[in-house]
Each structure stands twice: as C-alpha cells, then as structure tokens.
Chain A
C-alpha cells in the first residue's frame, strides 16, 4: 500500500513567485493534514481537511497560503506570493479516523522542501 506521497520533494523559487505543493494521502483516508517546519522551529499545524471540507485552518500563517482538497482526494497547498520566511519543509499527513486512540494513526509524507531565495 502506498504511503502519503508529496510532490515536489524539493523546490527552489524566487521571492514573489508562486509554488504549489501536492499531497496524495493514503487511499481511503478521509483526514488530511498539512504541517510545516521552518528552520530552527517545531513542526507546526497548518490545517486539517475532512474529505473536501476544511475542518480547521487556524494554523495557516496568512492569506498568501491557500489549501484545497478537490473531491476529497489529493490536496494542494499554494503559496502566492512566496516570501523568504516561507522556506522550510511542508509535511502532509493523513489518517483514517479523527482522534487518537481510536486505532487511528497519522501517517506523514516525506515532506516538500521549499527554499525561497
């Protein structure tokens, strides 16, 4: 069974450009999460989808970030326009149920490493 896959694995863009990150969750997982880790900081929650609906987007840093999950399958995270402080690794994760410890495990992808220059 395929895990959570993310694309691109690495991206280098100039300040002001747009980048779109894609996440394919594990098949059948209704819950999809985006997290990010900027240099020297903790991994921080960005938002949570249940199917195609945004359940919580309280962690989104500002309106330059837009996440979508069309049809409740894959998700995209767009940063427009990108700023230097957006550099970091963006993790996508998915899970079947909503809460622990219902047997639900959150599976993380390997991350999309973004560098804004």
Chain B
C-alpha cells in the first residue's frame, strides 16, 4: 500500500468552477502537509502548507487537513486556465523527507 494515494485524473473543469483535489494517506506520523503545483517540464512549486489539522486559505486556494480521517484537500475557487497544471500533495513527518502523491492533472477550459 502506498503511503500517499492521489487520483492522477485527469480532471477537466470549465473556467470559473470550484476544483477539489484530494489525497489520503496511511502514516499517522505525518505532521506537515503540502500542495505543490507543477507545470509541464517545470519543477514542483510550493503552493500551500499546513501543519496538523485545520484549514488554511490563501487567495483562491484553500487547504484542508483532517488527520482523523487521514485526508487532505485543496480547493481552488474561480478556476482559471492558468491553473491548468499537475497538483501534487506531499507530506512529511517531523523530518525533511517529503513523500509525494502521484499528482492530479488539472485542465481548466476557457
């Protein structure tokens, strides 16, 4: 069983839609939860991180962590074509080794 499960998609939505991206995990020791965005042929770029459970909002992006369910989410409001990318969830325990999900490919159609 993978430590982090993420549906690879692809997910296609119309411009302006609310996008919901999710990951589940099995290691209860994870404390830090990140979302990265990766454009084609580029490196991952950190979008948001959350420590422990709860919500965090940054502009059109909201990250949610539910440690009791081992489930994390990223919501994108008013999605734009420029949001089209691969979104990777990632997690860490107290250390520095980051465990990535497979990534979900998102297409936002104009």
Contacts and interface: CB of A to CB of B under 8 A. Distances in A.
A-side interface size class: 20 to 34
Given A42-B100, A42-B101, A100-B34, A109 B94 contact: no
A45 B98 contact: yes
A40 B32 CA distance: 25
A48 B97 contact: yes
A31 B103 CA distance: 25
Interface stretch (B10-18, B44-52, B58-66): B44-52
Nearest to A31: B96
Contacts, number: 61
Of listed A31, A45, A58, A106, residue having the most chain B CB within 10 A: A106
Nearest to B52: A101
Shortest 5 CB-CB contacts between residues of A and residues of B: A108-B43, A43-B100, A100-B32, A42-B100, A110-B43
Given A31-B96, A100-B92, A111-B41, 7 more contacts: A43-B100, A45-B98, A45-B99, A48-B96, A58-B97, A91-B43, A100-B32
Interface of A: 4, 31, 33, 35, 41-45, 48, 55-56, 58-59, 91, 93, 95, 98-101, 105-111
